[in-house]
């Protein structure tokens, strides 16, 4: 088995590292909050003091929140670019701007390395189940060098073509999640206000043709919101912002995406930014005059800036 660096140990990143360690790989990991890295040390993680140190091997993976966070771990004297060896491969699994991906790819190439965009479709649950799906953009030969690491984390890899195409596809996928949640919420609320108990409406919908794989994980969130979100409102709104930006650039109208973006903005204004993006239901529930999902807003906190 191989050695790999890993930068970004949030919920998803930590779950991925556990899969890598369980697969027999040696992992050197860095996180801005060192405690998250140290929590994985008993499981075999070698804790790095900087992104530069984590990137000292032949391959490095990263999973961060947005374009700004990606550039922060990339640049500077302690960044990944400073530690990247000639010939090394960096696969970034974050959902970020395709333009930022391509610009960073040029910087990695100038440093003698290869950069891949390798965003994922799934959640921490699918990581734990080994069912995560990778989309990868960039050089096919570079992909082959990191394929064993990716397959230790997820089940499938789809090469989307040149650098930036994978994250483009990921944004297109994520807008569908938010739109599905809005439609599902409307179905539940219409049934509930017409006299059908919410739990019975959820049961019926999940036995119908509307029961998508995504709803298999989130259907019950309209009854009880999870303590730990699979993907919070702030992050989903960020992704829909990327979709709207891309739509304007290529001339594709995205009216339902724009509506879902506004519903997520309303959720954040209600203090639900840290809740799972299924909180779209709670926004519509308030508008409909019915109770929100159980669990309540997270101690009055507004969402983080997207």
- The CATH number linked to 100 is 3.40.50.720
Lowest mean pLDDT, pick from 15-29, 132-146, 284-298: 284-298
Domain match, 108 and 190 both = no
Q: What is the pLDDT of residue 209?
A: 96
Residue 299: pLDDT above 70? Answer: no
Please state, in angstroms and rounded to a whole number, the distance separating the CA atoms of residues 183 and 196.
17
Domain match, 117 and 7 both = yes
Domain match, 8 and 128 both = yes
| Nearest C-alpha neighbor of 5 from the set 47, 59, 52 | 59
Please state, in angstroms and rounded to a whole number, the distance separating the CA atoms of residues 121 and 166.
11
Please state, in angstroms and rounded to a whole number, the distance separating the CA atoms of residues 277 and 156.
25
Residue 303 is assigned to a structural domain of this protein = no
Residue 34: pLDDT above 80? Answer: yes
Which CA distances in Å does 194 have to 189, 284, 290?
8, 15, 12
Q: How many domains does the chain have?
A: 2
Q: What is the pLDDT of residue 7?
A: 98
Expressed in angstroms, the distance from the first to the final Cα of the chain is 38
Residue 99 is assigned to a structural domain of this protein = yes
Residue 123 is assigned to a structural domain of this protein = yes
Residue 297: pLDDT above 80? Answer: no
Domain match, 100 and 203 both = no
| pLDDT bucket at 2, cuts 50 / 70 / 90 | confident
Q: What is the pLDDT of residue 53?
A: 97
Residue 51 is assigned to a structural domain of this protein = yes
Which CA distances in Å does 170 have to 121, 146, 239?
7, 19, 9
Choosing from 109, 128, 162, the residue where a domain stops is 162
Model confidence over 45-73: pLDDT tens digits?
Answer: 999 999 999 999 999 999 999 999 999 99
Please state, in angstroms and rounded to a whole number, the distance separating the CA atoms of residues 268 and 40.
31
Domain match, 135 and 205 both = no
The CATH number that applies at residue 248 is 1.10.1040.10
Residue 175: pLDDT above 60? Answer: yes
Domain match, 248 and 190 both = yes
Please state, in angstroms and rounded to a whole number, the distance separating the CA atoms of residues 172 and 247.
10
Question: What domain range is 271 assigned to?
Answer: 168-288
Give the DSSP letter of residue 94. Answer: S
Residue written as token pair 């019950």? 220
Domain match, 101 and 33 both = yes
Residue 298 is assigned to a structural domain of this protein = no
Model confidence over 109-157: pLDDT tens digits?
Answer: 999 999 999 999 988 888 988 889 999 999 999 999 999 999 999 999 9
> Residue 75 in 3-state DSSP?
coil
Give the DSSP letter of residue 157. Answer: E
Please state, in angstroms and rounded to a whole number, the distance separating the CA atoms of residues 156 and 2.
19
DSSP bridge pairs for 159: 136
Choosing from 140, 162, 184, the residue where a domain stops is 162
Task: Calculate what percentage of the chain has a pLDDT beyond 70.
Answer: 96
Q: Report whether 11 contacts 124 (CB < 8 A).
A: yes
Please state, in angstroms and rounded to a whole number, the distance separating the CA atoms of residues 64 and 161.
22
Residue written as token pair 């479709």? 121
Q: What is the pLDDT of residue 125?
A: 84
Q: What is the pLDDT of residue 24?
A: 96
Q: What mean pLDDT comes out for the span 162-182?
A: 97
Domain match, 153 and 180 both = no
Residue 293 is assigned to a structural domain of this protein = no
Domain match, 244 and 275 both = yes
Q: What is the pLDDT of residue 1?
A: 65
Q: Tokens representing 225?
A: 């919101």
Residue 216 is assigned to a structural domain of this protein = yes
Domain match, 18 and 146 both = yes
Task: Calculate what percentage of the chain has a pLDDT beyond 90.
Answer: 90
Q: What is the pLDDT of residue 302?
A: 34
Model confidence over 200-244: pLDDT tens digits?
Answer: 999 999 999 999 999 998 999 999 999 989 999 999 999 999 999
| pLDDT bucket at 306, cuts 50 / 70 / 90 | very low
Return mean pLDDT, the chain: 94
pTM over 0.85: yes
Q: Strands 132-137, 120-121: parallel, antiparallel or unpaired by DSSP?
A: antiparallel
List Cβ neighbours of 194 (8 Å cut-off, separation of 6 or more): none
> Residue 88 in 3-state DSSP?
coil
Q: What is the pLDDT of residue 131?
A: 87
Domain match, 84 and 219 both = no
Q: What mean pLDDT comes out for the span 295-301?
A: 48
Residue 300 is assigned to a structural domain of this protein = no
Please state, in angstroms and rounded to a whole number, the distance separating the CA atoms of residues 273 and 271.
6
Domain match, 61 and 140 both = yes
Kindly give the residue spans of alpha helices, DSSP state H, lying in the chain.
Answer: 11-22, 34-38, 51-54, 67-74, 80-83, 98-110, 124-129, 140-153, 165-193, 198-205, 213-218, 233-250, 255-269, 280-288
């Amino acid at each position: 088995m191989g050695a790999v660096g890993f930068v970004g140990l949030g919920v998803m990143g930590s779950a991925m590292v556990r899969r890598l360690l369980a697969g027999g790989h040696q992992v050197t990991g860095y996180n801005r909050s060192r405690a998250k890295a140290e929590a994985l040390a008993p499981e075999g993680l070698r804790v790095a003091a900087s992104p530069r140190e984590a990137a000292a091997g032949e391959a490095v993976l990263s999973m961060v929140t947005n374009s700004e966070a990606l550039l922060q771990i990339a640049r500077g004297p302690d960044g990944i670019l400073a530690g990247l060896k000639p010939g090394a491969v960096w696969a970034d699994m974050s959902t970020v701007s395709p333009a930022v991906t391509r610009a960073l790819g040029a910087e990695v190439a100038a440093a003698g390395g290869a950069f891949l965009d390798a965003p994922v479709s799934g959640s921490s649950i699918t990581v734990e189940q080994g069912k995560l799906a990778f989309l990868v953009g960039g050089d096919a030969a570079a992909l082959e060098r990191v394929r064993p690491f990716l397959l230790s984390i997820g089940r499938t890899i789809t090469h989307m073509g040149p650098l930036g195409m994978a994250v483009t596809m990921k944004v297109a996928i994520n807008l569908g999640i938010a739109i599905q949640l809005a439609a599902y919420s409307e179905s539940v609320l219409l049934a509930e206000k017409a006299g059908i108990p919410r739990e019975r409406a959820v049961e019926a919908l999940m036995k119908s043709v509307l029961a998508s794989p995504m709803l298999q994980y989130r259907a019950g969130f309209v009854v009880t919101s999870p303590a730990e979100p699979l993907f919070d409102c702030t992050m989903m709104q960020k992704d829909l912002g990327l979709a709207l930006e891309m739509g304007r650039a290529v001339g594709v109208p995205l009216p339902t995406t724009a509506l879902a973006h506004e519903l997520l903005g309303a959720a954040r204004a209600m203090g639900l930014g840290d809740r799972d993006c299924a909180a779209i239901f709670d926004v519509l529930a308030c508008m409909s005059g019915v109770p929100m999902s159980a669990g309540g807003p997270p101690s009055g906190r507004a969402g983080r800036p997207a």
